[in-house]
Amino acid sequence: MTTYINQQWLLDKRPSGMPDDECWKWNEVEVPELKEGELLIKVLYLSIDPYMRGRMNDGESYAAPAALGEPMTGESIGVVVESKSDKYIKGDYLCAHQGWQSYIVANEKDPQLFKADPSIVPLSTYLGTVGMPGRTAYFGLLRVGLPKSGETIVVSAASGAVGTVVGQMGKILGCRVVGVAGGEVKCSYAKDELGFDDCVDYKAGNLEEDLKTACPDGIDIYFENVGGAVSRAVAKLLNPGSRVPICGFISAYNSEDMSKEETPFHVFGALDPAPEHRFFVVTEWFKEYRAATEELCKWIKDGKIKYRETITEGLENAPQGLRDVLSGKNFGKQVIKVAEE
């Protein structure tokens, strides 16, 4: 019988501000023998996402905090190398949500297991544009944003894994799309490669004026990823009947006391009249994941959705990968390449 050594990053302490290396502990453990109904997944890619920072805190949220002494929370994709399951066989490619580790023992009844087909799009894409971030954009825009042709959509973190899909979907649906991103390179990418109508560089120092120029007819939908100064600038331009899907607000994720932070709920709730605005979680539409993934794959194959990834080699670099996402150093979707197939 083959012996497998599982490498893991365990959450070792709660962070204060930007998480440093001491927040995690490297662990190596032998994979136990499979029981009936179980399968062993060799992880090939690990997703790094902004929400992970919130899950490191020990506070009330939409999901339970990551547990100390357990693998850091996260989604990955890999290949089945052993199986005692009638549902999944050796060689199947699966997405699983069992944290930062190189091998995953999964039960065939786990509802979060998701089959992937690398003949349609590359495997890493199932963690990004056609995976959780892509589905977040898809449902957040369609079900909360409720776009109509001709409306103006503004999306913050426009060059990120969620923002790129929101913007390109907006164009598919006949909307005017304006992104907000940090730096000339990311703004040029949104306009020149992704087809946004405009993209405002929040680092240029003229955020309010530049946003007003880019949105001469006001803003009908604001897809919120950032919070802070971007929210305040957008709030001044919202049209009557506008909608604000709140995906997150990364500008405050490293706060040492979130209760003292100004959130998008404060900004938009204070308006009179207040726009329709709510926080959403992609799992609200869990039963529709497959249909959303199929449509996103079709748009990629048709050339209507493009994407970029930052692929970092080695599970040992996952902590730095998260810091890069939280500070905006990555470009597009951040993934860690854990192993060759």
CATH number at residue 47: 3.90.180.10
Is 202 within a domain? yes
Same domain? For 26 and 96 the reply is yes
Is 294 within a domain? no
- Output the pLDDT for position 249: 86
Is 206 within a domain? yes
Same domain? For 124 and 142 the reply is no
Residue with tokens 């495997």: 123
- Output the pLDDT for position 252: 66
Same domain? For 153 and 188 the reply is yes
Distance CA 188, CA 273 (A): 35
- Output the pLDDT for position 61: 66
Domain extent, residue 81, equals 5-128+308-337
Is 44 within a domain? yes
Same domain? For 262 and 136 the reply is yes
Domain total of the chain: 2
Is 289 within a domain? no
pTM assigned to the model: 0.91
Is 293 within a domain? no
- Output the pLDDT for position 258: 65
Distance CA 180, CA 83 (A): 46
- Output the pLDDT for position 60: 67
Ordered per-residue pLDDT tens for the chain, 341 residues: 689 999 999 999 999 899 999 999 999 999 999 999 999 999 999 999 999 998 999 876 667 889 999 999 999 999 999 999 999 999 999 999 999 999 999 999 999 999 999 999 999 999 999 999 999 999 999 999 999 999 999 999 999 999 999 999 999 999 999 999 999 999 999 999 999 999 999 999 999 999 999 999 999 999 999 999 999 999 999 999 999 999 988 776 676 666 677 889 999 999 999 999 999 999 999 999 999 999 999 999 999 999 999 999 999 999 999 999 999 888 889 999 999 98
Q: Which residues contact 208 (CB under 8 A, 6 or more apart)?
A: 233, 236
Same domain? For 278 and 136 the reply is yes
φ/ψ region of 25 (left if φ > 0, alpha if ψ in -120 to 50, else beta) reads beta
Q: If DSSP codes are grouped into helix, strand and coil, which group holds residue 286?
A: helix
Same domain? For 323 and 278 the reply is no
Integer CA distances (angstroms), 50 to 177, 233, 239, in order: 23, 22, 29
Same domain? For 22 and 145 the reply is no
- Output the pLDDT for position 256: 65
Best CA proximity match to 269, nearest among 258, 277, 261: 277
Amino acid at 106: A
Is 291 within a domain? no
Same domain? For 267 and 159 the reply is yes
Is 295 within a domain? no
Amino acid at 299: W
